[in-house]
Amino acid sequence: MSQSRTILKNTFGVGLAQIIERASTVYLGILVARKLGADGLGVYSAAMVYYGLLFLAAEIGSTTYLTREIARDPNQTSRYVVHLAAMSSAFAIVLAVIARMVMPWFGYSQQLQGCLYVIIWAIIPAVFKAIQEGVFIAYERAEFLTYSAVIAGIINVGASLYLLLRGYGVLSLVIAFVIVQFAVAGFYFIVIHRMVELRWEFSFPFAWKIVREMRAFTGVSLVQGFLSRPEIILLSFTKNDAEIGFYSAALRIVDLWQLIPKCYMTSVYPVLSKYHHTGDSRAHLLRSKSIKYLLATSFPLTVGMFVLARPILQVLYGPGFGPSEPALRILSWTVPLATLWHILWRVLSARGDHGDVFSSQIISLVARFGGGYLLIRYFASSGAAMSNLASSLVILLLLIYQLRRDGTRLNFLRLTGRLALAAAGMAGVTFILEKHANLWVVVCAGAASYVAMVLLFKAFSAEDFSTFQKIWRVQST
């Protein structure tokens, strides 16, 4: 199988799994918002954010590190899986116990505190599950992620819908989520055991070697945990549950589309690691193509969410989420910034400059908490969106600086200038139609206008179309 088709296959498997998982989460958020209002959505979102933060802290960067090492030497799979699983699981248990002890001191609402007491225990199966997902990706067997995501999504959504219709609250949804995490981790373990012969041997010298090598990965994982949703953390300290709900309603819409670059680059990362490890010049071509193709999808999404923020919120959440409109318009601009972030940090990591990613994230984290606190104090959910946008821009500029230090050239205007013009034309069409047509009609017309202008401006070269044909062409025996 060619490299392009391998990337497509892995991207489709990883992407479909994460789309199913994220779509089920967004759907649950909509159900919670419609049944329990902004307060209920705020509690549910805050609980999930704290879960994500604790999970990334417990995962200690092991998934990215594992994927890179297996891509370099598949014969070491068992050794790395056993050691990383033992280390991450032990740390997850310690972290859950500490979190349970300190949470009563933070002054959360009674409902949020009860949900946090339950969800912290989900990080134990979550870290074990994440390590096994790294093996599936490295072995190009991402279809197993899709199978488990479908099953888990159906069970989680079905159980949550049943509980909400029966009049249960957010706590019941959190309990169902924890149970599903344990079930998926068990399924992964059965599959991994059949793929790889795991030898349950633990070597402290080898474990210490892993600790030394993955220090930067661990730091990045911890910082990513704080960078993922710091505004919700700040909102939980300074504002009420409803403000968390308004911001979360906008954030869920934006986050759904950020799966595209995340899934694609997750599959590309092992290939980039191989290219940089062997000194293959194709690494630069793969980086440029990734920037162009992923921004081609992010530009129309940004325009659509910015122009159509009000009808999108009304269709999804109902009339009670008007305060989410400014936040959604602001957050829409984070989509292309996040796309570039997903590309550039993996490029740096693949070439061995993971420490540069870590230092950039530390600077961004300090700026985000400091500036975010002031913005949220004065502008609530809109201030949270401003903080998110500003910090996304800061970390992107830092990553570009780190990449260019060795002479790497990043000509964004040449790669995506015509795509940006096409998106601007789409904005005009969408703005004109927004007040005169149904939302879905406007969406279809806007998408069609974007495609037409991409072709009109010749945003894709003959080489790009040749690449598309190679990806989709069915190879002969």
Residue 34 lies in a domain: yes
Share of the chain above pLDDT 90, in %: 19
Which structural domain range is residue 204 located in? Answer: 1-228
Instruction: Quick: pLDDT tens for 12-21.
Output: 655 666 677 7
Residue 183 lies in a domain: yes
Cα–Cα dist 67/14, whole Å: 14
Residue 269 lies in a domain: no
DSSP label of 188? H
At what angle are helices 170-195 and 123-138 packed, to 10 degrees? 40
Q: Determine the average pLDDT of the residues in 354-380.
A: 84
Tokens for 263, please give them. 């899934």
Q: Determine the average pLDDT of the residues in 368-382.
A: 89
Q: Which residues of 184-214 are buried (b: 16+ CB within 10 A; e: fewer)?
A: bbebbbebbeeebeeeeeeeeeeeeebeeeb
Residue 454 lies in a domain: no
- 11 band by pLDDT with thresholds 50, 70 and 90: low
- 472 band by pLDDT with thresholds 50, 70 and 90: very low
Residue 273 lies in a domain: no
State yes or no: pLDDT of 476 exceeds 50: no
Determine the pLDDT at residue 474: 37
Of residues 335 and 69, the one with the higher pLDDT is 335
At what angle are helices 143-165 and 123-138 packed, to 10 degrees? 150
Residues in CB range of 472: below 8 A, 6 or more apart: none
**Which among 265, 332, 334 is positioned nearest to 294, based on CA atoms?**
265
Instruction: Quick: pLDDT tens for 424-455.
Output: 999 999 999 988 888 999 999 999 999 999 88
Residue 288 lies in a domain: no
The secondary structure of 131-174 as a DSSP string is: HHHHHHHHTT-THHHHHHHHHHHHHHHHHHHHHHHTT--HHHHH
Instruction: Quick: pLDDT tens for 404-413.
Output: 887 777 788 8
Of residues 115 and 262, the one with the higher pLDDT is 115
Q: How many domains does the chain have?
A: 1
Q: Are 181 and 123 in contact (CB under 8 A)?
A: no
Q: Determine the average pLDDT of the residues in 396-420.
A: 84
Cα–Cα dist 463/167, whole Å: 57
Of residues 375 and 95, the one with the higher pLDDT is 375
Instruction: Quick: pLDDT tens for 275-301.
Output: 766 766 677 777 888 888 899 999 999
Sign of CA dihedral 27, 29, 34, 36: positive
The single residue listed with the structure tokens 């633990």 is 202
Cα–Cα dist 173/13, whole Å: 27
Residue 63 lies in a domain: yes
Query: For residue 426, what are the CA distances in angstroms to 392, 421, 438?
Result: 24, 9, 17
Residue 41 lies in a domain: yes
**Which among 264, 221, 273 is positioned nearest to 67, based on CA atoms?**
273
